[in-house]
Homo-oligomer: A and B are copies of this chain.
């Protein structure tokens, strides 16, 4: 068998990106109400065009992640990316951290159910860093209030709003989720309140526009993308909008 390993120096073919992915890792994120929240993340880390990269360097990704003890926030995200870039002598460092985030929903104080929001932070560090936050807000029509105790019977799962933002300055995830839920519940109420015969149900375009308008006007947000999907029988319809516009 020809030794193909020894030929590698003469080739023009160069690796563009190396990294580790699908690391399941317990992390701590900031929480407006309780200071900290512990959750479990899936982490991807990679670097672009490292000089003199060797396979044995793969362990450095894990070492860097461990050094930060899973404390993931806007500040530590930058420090982790900086250390990746330096330790791996790379031109660019990337990290994605995806995790469920739990909030006590104000209106469900009686049953006290925690609501789960899927979140994903994505950062790239080159000469300066670029950080985005994605989160999903499930859209459910308001169920009929039961008299007495109890969970209202659900009208099901209308769809989801997937929001991605870049920040001008710090803002709590909780406050962003509230902004989104104010718009979705307003639009759902409007849709239900219309008289039956001419009733015009809520469309993905309408809700995407209303969410886009609100995020466009928000002082803390420098860029946004909104995708609203409506679940249907066997497929989804969706509309996407980006801004500022």
Contacts and interface: CB of A to CB of B under 8 A. Distances in A.
A156 interface: yes
Q: How many copies does the complex hold?
A: 4
A33 interface: no
B212 A157 contact: no
A38 B40 CA distance: 9
Nearest to A115: B234
A4 interface: yes
Interface of A: 1, 3-5, 8, 11-26, 37-40, 46, 53, 55-59, 62-63, 66, 100, 102, 110-116, 138-141, 143-144, 146, 148-159, 186-187, 189-190, 193, 199-206, 208-210, 212-213, 216, 229-243, 245
Q: Is the interface of A mostly helix, strand, loop or mixed?
A: mixed
A156 B157 contact: yes
A157 B214 CA distance: 27
A38 B229 CA distance: 29
A107 to B, nearest CB: 10
A100 B155 contact: no
Given A157-B231, A193-B1, A202-B153, A111 B59 contact: yes
